[in-house]
Structure 1
Amino acid sequence: MPPIPLEDSVADIVGKAMRGLQLNAAQVAAAAGVTHAALASLCDGNYHDATVRAVAPVLHLGTEALAALGRQAWYPQPVTLAGLACFNTPYHDMTVNSYLVFDRSSGEALAVDTGADCRGMLDYLTQSQLTLKLILLTHAHSDHVHDLAPLQQHTGAPAYIGEGESLAGAQCFAAGRLFHCGALRVATRLTWGHSRGGITYVIDGLDGPLALVGDAVFAGSMGGGIVSYIDALRSNRTQILTLPAATVLCPGHGPLTTVAQEQIHNPFFPGT
């Protein structure tokens, strides 16, 4: 699979922060000491270093991390982990990730989200002689659960989703519940703000620590605070970025990353 582009540009990040903080363009431009035209140009996708450096502190974004993204000077180091397979499928004008995590000894597997098309996942299960035991959903947004029905029809696996969400075909559970799949142990953490009941799945039993975070955190960004921007920031800091530095993070969009890389390079979490 070719490298997956970063999910968000500087313009996307600035827009998310402005909406989350409920600041309009006039307020941000005045506080940053830049012209309205300069801010508008930045929000239209035109990078200007001085404007970024003026705006970032107003939006509580990490200046150097944001500038590096604007210069296209950072992309996460490639991550591989035995027992993990990523599927990237198109959905309207974007792509979405879904994952299989499996115990190589028993051949038992779990899926995290379904993406827009589960056929690649089904082919992988067959070719690798894996048995799908669980479908764990990070949240109920349509791009992440689009193919739940066919995945269940082909595998018979039960699906689970956090109790703050509601989805036909999935059983609700409270954050803190443990799941098991072969030798894998799956802890669940509430990472809400982008959605009301978003769940991060933290998995032990592979060769290294793994967290499947949905739209809570992206490489160099995060999901928009649709429900609560402040709570999204807080839960991401306390529930994801406190995991061991080597933890592989599997986001709902964009490339894989690690806790260590996001602590340095994610502008939403300066000083983490």
Structure 2
Amino acid sequence: MLVVGFPTGALQANCYLIAPGEGEACVIVDPGQDAAEPVAEAIKEHGLTPVAAILTHGHFDHCFAVAPICDGNDIPAWIHPDDRDLLSDPLKGVSAESAAFFGGKLAMREPQEVRELTDQSVLDLAGLSMTVDHTPGHTQGSVTFRCGTQEGGRLLFAGDTLFAGSIGRTDLPGGDVHKMAQSLRTKILTLPDDTVVLPGHGPTTTIGRERVSNPFLAGLEEGSTVPGPLRGL
């Protein structure tokens, strides 16, 4: 399996391309701010043919380039319906300070074809089978994507639900600390320890590593709640 990842934009959100191998069809995960050029370069370098873009949530740093990338390649974008409105109204999902920084204007639009994700659905794209888990907390429509590899490994594209050593902030519009705790408890901590986590910001990690070292997961399996640290967007 081929996974190509790189940070994009001012907030260094991770964008990923995943394919069965070189010269195959691929899926683009979270094409954020300034992602169009590196995505095009990765497609050319590895001989890939994009078939879809899938979004872990609707914050602009994860989907700012989705319309030009999707429309330029004639492919659909997939997003949870609870975050779909952020594609055309990105300031709805940011803090007042962030909105002021952009002068109250941040122009985005939906791609020509948008399809909606549902919890526990399975996407069969590019020869890959990806399970969708709805994980509200960072946003109402946050999701993660689980995928197995031909080599027998397990991957989790976690968006801004889980990071190495942290979790997504819950203080932005649409965030909810109690839903975040529930998502982490029922959708993240139930995964096998050897699951490789590819987060929306920062380095890769594993579920096992986070289970024993992430302070924001401590006690969750026993039912406690957690405050949302200020990480990501």
Which ranges of 4 or more aligned residues in structure 1 deviate by more than 6 Å? none
CA–CA distance in 1 between the matches of 2:57 and 2:50? 20
Amino acid at match of 2:62: H
CA–CA distance in 2 between the matches of 1:120 and 1:95? 13
CA–CA distance in 1 between the matches of 2:51 and 2:131? 16
Deviation (angstroms), 1:171? 2.2
| Residue 140 of structure 2 is aligned to residue 192 of structure 1 | no
| Residue 70 of structure 2 is aligned to residue 125 of structure 1 | no
| 1:210 counterpart residue number | 155
The normalised TM-score by structure 1 is 0.66
**Secondary structure of the structure 2 residue equivalent to 1:250:** strand
From 193, 197, 202, give the equivalent of 1:254. Answer: 202
| Residue 35 of structure 2 is aligned to residue 148 of structure 1 | no
Choose 1 or 2 for highest CA Rg: 1
Deviation (angstroms), 1:176? 1.9
2:149, 2:155 within 8 Å by CA — same for their partners in 1?
Answer: no
| Residue 45 of structure 2 is aligned to residue 100 of structure 1 | no
Deviation (angstroms), 1:151? 1.0
From 54, 57, 79, give the equivalent of 1:161. Answer: 79
CA–CA distance in 2 between the matches of 1:183 and 1:197? 25
CA–CA distance in 1 between the matches of 2:159 and 2:199? 5
1:87, 1:121 within 8 Å by CA — same for their partners in 2?
Answer: no
2:23, 2:49 within 8 Å by CA — same for their partners in 1?
Answer: no
CA–CA distance in 1 between the matches of 2:181 and 2:24? 37
| 1:85 counterpart residue number | 4
Amino acid at match of 1:103: P
- Corresponding residue pairs, total: 189
2:155, 2:195 within 8 Å by CA — same for their partners in 1?
Answer: yes
Post-superposition CA distance 1:168-192 (Å, at most 9, x none): 2232232222111233100000111
Deviation (angstroms), 1:219? 0.6
**Secondary structure of the structure 2 residue equivalent to 1:193:** coil
Post-superposition CA distance 1:88-139 (Å, at most 9, x none): 1132xx3111111111177011011102122111111111111111110011
1:199, 1:213 within 8 Å by CA — same for their partners in 2?
Answer: yes
Amino acid at match of 2:30: D
**Secondary structure of the structure 2 residue equivalent to 1:164:** helix
**Secondary structure of the structure 2 residue equivalent to 1:263:** helix
Per residue, is there more helix in 1 or in 2?
1
CA–CA distance in 2 between the matches of 1:173 and 1:242? 21
| 1:177 counterpart residue number | 121
CA–CA distance in 2 between the matches of 1:127 and 1:105? 9
The normalised TM-score by structure 2 is 0.76
- The share of aligned pairs that are identical, in percent, is 32
2:27, 2:54 within 8 Å by CA — same for their partners in 1?
Answer: yes
CA–CA distance in 2 between the matches of 1:165 and 1:237? 22
2:22, 2:48 within 8 Å by CA — same for their partners in 1?
Answer: no
For the aligned residue pairs, the C-alpha RMSD in angstroms reads 1.6
